[in-house]
Amino acid sequence: MQNASNNGISRRAILGAFAATAISAAPFFPGVTAYARGAGDIRKLRFYSGRTGENINLIYWIDGTYIPESLTEINHFFRDWRNNATHRIDARTIDFLAATHNILRVNEPYMLLSGYRSPQTNAMLRARSGNVAQNSLHLTGKAADVRLRSRSVNQIAQAAQACRAGGVGRYSRSNFVHFDCGDVRSWGR
């Protein structure tokens, strides 16, 4: 793939990423629906948690149906690691992350920095930093902060923005990208 930080993500790269794999993002991504046709009938997710040392590598969607057991496992994996509180993670966020991973054509798992945040954790983080929203989508299981060793913040963010599936925040100084299934928007550098 071309260096995304210099050349951007092309329409051809998006088409190739979806056509070459078995992950389809059509149901939730109006901006990439046409690219996903014929892309297959499974969706996968690969993550590593630096906080808990856990790994997740599973198929969570087959032939148009989410697998309840896989979603339960994802909910647990994305838990607030500070107090083990869990919440249902919005499938749109999961699909957004999977589609972006697919566009990037990487084999390494995402490193999850933050998934669900309990109100107590969000309040604590807000007291420490002005970059934490009071009504963060992390509180409702609609956001995740991730990184990849093999891709820059800009490369990940460009691929995510190509999906037009929600919010994309660049946090270059902290080396992570924020994903959420809220309104399509972007911020940071």
pLDDT in tens, 91-100: 999 999 999 9
Measured CA to CA, the distance from residue 139 to residue 100 in angstroms comes to 22
Confidence (pTM): 0.78
**Rg of the chain (C-alpha set):** 16
Task: Give the pLDDT of residue 150.
Answer: 96
Beta bridge partners of 186: 168
Measured CA to CA, the distance from residue 103 to residue 122 in angstroms comes to 31
Tokens of 168: 């994309």
pLDDT in tens, 24-50: 333 344 444 433 444 567 999 999 998
User: What residue type is 77 in one-letter code?
Assistant: F
Task: Give the pLDDT of residue 60.
Answer: 96
Burial class (CB in 10 A: 0-12, 13-18, 19+), 42: middle
Mean of all residue pLDDT scores within the chain: 84
Measured CA to CA, the distance from residue 170 to residue 78 in angstroms comes to 20
In the chain, where the domains are located: 4-188
Measured CA to CA, the distance from residue 75 to residue 47 in angstroms comes to 13
Task: Give the pLDDT of residue 36.
Answer: 44
The domain defined by 4-188 carries CATH number 3.30.1380.10:
yes
78 touches 89 (CB < 8 A): yes
Task: Give the pLDDT of residue 28.
Answer: 42
